[in-house]
Amino acid sequence: MDVEIRAINNIKGRGLFAKKSFPCGTIIFEEDPLVCCQFSWNCSYMYKTCDHCLRPLESAQENARRLTGNPELILPYPECCTTNKNSIVSCSTCGVEYCSVHCQNEAFNRYHRILCLRTKERNNSHPMEHLNEAWKHMHYPPETSTIMIIPRLLATILQSPNPEQMQEAVLQFTHRAINEDAQLVHKLLGEKFADQLLLLHNLLLQAVPHEGIEQFLTLEGFQSLLALIGTNGQGVGTSAVSQWVTRSSELPLPDAEKQQLDNFIDKLYEDMDRVSGNFLNNEGVALFSLQSSCNHSCVPNAEPTYLHNNSRLSLVSLRDIEAGEEITISYLDECNLQRSRHSRHKVLMENYLFVCNCLKCEEQVNEPDVTSDEEEDDEEEMSE
């Protein structure tokens, strides 16, 4: 590997460092997740995706028709669609679909054998369904995680050829104090978190086998897993339409035809935005062993992306990175990154329990301790 995990200090713990120089735009590394899972509401709203790698199962035209609400829509240049409908297979026992036999075998050998056996009579009375429905009633879109990744994570431990080693891989994510886990879970579950925590815990106990994973199934262990997905879960997004747009835009077309295509794409996104809003992608959450060691910076030098339109993560440099330099990403979305230092710190403390001391935060240390919303209110009052 061209990167290494190193200890930093008692506050930051560990970080990821470059072992060689990376020019801007370089893929620093690629990584498959330890486990990933589609968001619960995303699945319920018929965003069809491979149950293992989250690759789209709709063709680009099917995807565009659903998102625009136009069943007659025809996409030009169908050869630019990357979805291979002929390779899609499904589990003969529980019916979940995969993009390929490879993904079906990977899923079965890693976690699905246990979960499939416990969901072969899949209906609304099954404990796994109860767990999923309880979560959905606590977390409406826009989604940031799903509890259904926890049964998958536990099954991955149980099915591992070396369960002890896999437990250690999971435990690397869970290193906070009990009170810190409680703070994070409170944030994740809201004001009724205590009752919701007990409900979800009881449903999980009914949904998964216990032997060999007892430490994760205590109330404290479960709380730690919830905190884990809240802080280390990395969002995954895939889209058949976006792949079609990228490929069709690269076609060597005459100028007039190119302009016609650009107009079509602009109209397509307008229609999708009008009908589906921001909910365009197949979305889910994943845990990555290497990427999770990246610390946050408000001026990150790298960002995770999904170049393969599945759950395989590519970490790409945003600027030149020198050998020995720490590789950082942003835990905040682009909107929050542009907010004031105080606003950024508030979000980071609420969701990750740390104060950022990156270069940008140090340069803004003398800014007033008010949120961006408060600053906007002050500006509005002054203008009035």
Amino acid at 19: K
- Check residue 175 and give its pLDDT: 59
Q: What's the confidence (pLDDT) of residue 120?
A: 47
Determine the pLDDT at residue 360: 96
**Sign of the CA dihedral 149, 231, 304, 343?**
positive
- Predicted confidence at residue 323, as pLDDT, reads 97
- pLDDT value, residue 178: 73
pLDDT of residue 382: 38
pLDDT for 200: 96
Q: Is the pTM of this model over 0.85?
A: yes
Q: H helices within the chain, ranges in order? A: 40-44, 60-68, 101-107, 113-117, 127-138, 149-159, 163-171, 178-189, 193-207, 214-217, 219-232, 240-249, 255-276, 334-337, 341-352, 359-363, 372-383
Q: What pLDDT does residue 7 have?
A: 87
Output the pLDDT for position 376. 56
Residue-wise pLDDT tens digits, 265-282: 999 999 999 999 999 999
Weakly modelled stretches of the chain, pLDDT under 50: 120, 378-379, 381-384
pLDDT digits (tens, 9 = 90+) for 150-184: 999 999 999 999 999 999 988 887 656 678 888 88
pLDDT for 180 equals 85
